[in-house]
Amino acid sequence: MKKADEKKTADERCAKCGACTAVCPVYRISGKESHTARGRLHLLSRLINPSSTTFGEITSACLLCGACRDVCARKIDTLSPLIKAREHLPTSAQYHYVEKLIARKTLASPFLLRSFAKLRAGLIEHLPKSSGLRMKLAILPDDFLPTSLSFSRHSTTKNINKPKINYFSGCLARYLQRDIITATDFLTEQATGSPLLIPDDQTCCGLASFAAGSRKEAQELARTNIAAFAVNDLPILTSCASCYSHLRSYPELLADNPQWRKRAIEFAARLREFSSFFLEKCFVRSLMYPIKLNSAIPRVFYHDPCHLRFGPEKIIAQPRALLKKILGVPPLEPARGTHCCGQGGLFQLAHGELSRKIFTEALQDFSELSATHIVSTCSGCLLQWQKGVQEAGLNSQTCHLSVLLAKIIYANETA
């Protein structure tokens, strides 16, 4: 940033060029300037009443996808002013705040999450498949979830090697879709010869709290996670793209405390993203990939999580290269390119209709591919696709990338 710009607000630095409007999924659907980064920065610099409907609309109708920040030639951090403004939202009763609060509180509490997971199991039996509550609670029909996944261990069955890597599971894998853990553990054993080490004291990464404007809660969760993984200095693998992105931001989140910031920097340096990690291991161990499939090669569509696509590392090529390495063919690509799924964490709770319309565009592009499988590595994206595919009555299977790879490798090894 130029010296003269240092004292300017984000709105004052904005060139009003409109590059951010061209990439904003919300603006593409709503057509409202107040839904773009340019519009939000301008309005937030003038609005002073956080309990107003306008304030609630401006601050909540954003996916926090990061596309605007990524494209901005002036390198304006378009998200921070918005997240800061959300800190004032609790005083406002607008925009389904109660739902958002419940979701945030649930994610922030291991006790509530465990209770929710039990509640979910009970509800599955009683709720009709078409129930809207199923959708809201991310309760999907059993045949959409790989609930019976299990892999018998190989040579390590009797003499398991010491773990070489920790695992941060994220809430979806830990409480709702545990097959992600089973599959990641299987792949890790294949790649390193050792199982995962999963510290029990880990909790929600805190992204939901942070995105909802509850910085204190997010900081508390960050400190809990850093302490949970301080029992060793092994790398930390996470299979969730959103968690990975947020865990990496802990040094910034805890910047106001030098001691915790130092611990957060050390913690962040140990993080490993799912597809990058396994791609590297594939090449290092020279395993027999691509594998010889006993059945037809699955037609796989990989959905890019925004947190990886627009994150600092731009993790776009790695998951594609991993799929190609194992299957022998690259995943299918929609003609119009990658598309946001419209989930955006709490966005889909506060703005269900906008979220649904953004997803419909993604689904239209996807439908042209005749894919048999949809894979991703983001918990939120997976829920959005699982729900959307079910509603659309499509036969494609939707699962975490780890589940598809583990199933294929295991099936071929045991055939």
Binding positions for ligand SF4, rule: CB under 6 A: 14-20, 23-26, 36-38, 62-68, 71-72, 74, 76, 78
- Which two tokens mark 219? 């900081």
Q: Are 298 and 327 in contact (CB under 8 A)?
A: yes
Q: Give least dist CB 82 to ligand SF4, A.
A: 7
Residue 95 CB contacts under 8 Å (≥ 6 apart), including other chains: 56, 57, 60, 89, 350, 351
- d(CA 370, CA 204) in angstroms, rounded, equals 35
Q: Give least dist CB 24 to ligand SF4, A.
A: 3
- Which two tokens mark 7? 């004292």
Q: Are 366 and 374 in contact (CB under 8 A)?
A: yes
The nearer residue to ligand SF4, 67 or 107, going by C-beta atoms, is: 67
Q: Give least dist CB 16 to ligand SF4, A.
A: 5
Residue 211 CB contacts under 8 Å (≥ 6 apart), including other chains: 64, 83, 86, 345, 346
169 class by beta-carbon count within 10 Å (0-12 exposed, 13-18 middle, 19+ buried): buried
Q: Give least dist CB 275 to ligand SF4, A.
A: 22
The nearer residue to ligand SF4, 33 or 220, going by C-beta atoms, is: 33
Q: Give least dist CB 354 to ligand SF4, A.
A: 10
The nearer residue to ligand SF4, 23 or 240, going by C-beta atoms, is: 23
The nearer residue to ligand SF4, 77 or 368, going by C-beta atoms, is: 77
The nearer residue to ligand SF4, 41 or 408, going by C-beta atoms, is: 41
The nearer residue to ligand SF4, 71 or 112, going by C-beta atoms, is: 71
Q: Give least dist CB 282 to ligand SF4, A.
A: 33
Q: Is the peptide bond before 290 cis (omega within 30 degrees of 0)?
A: yes
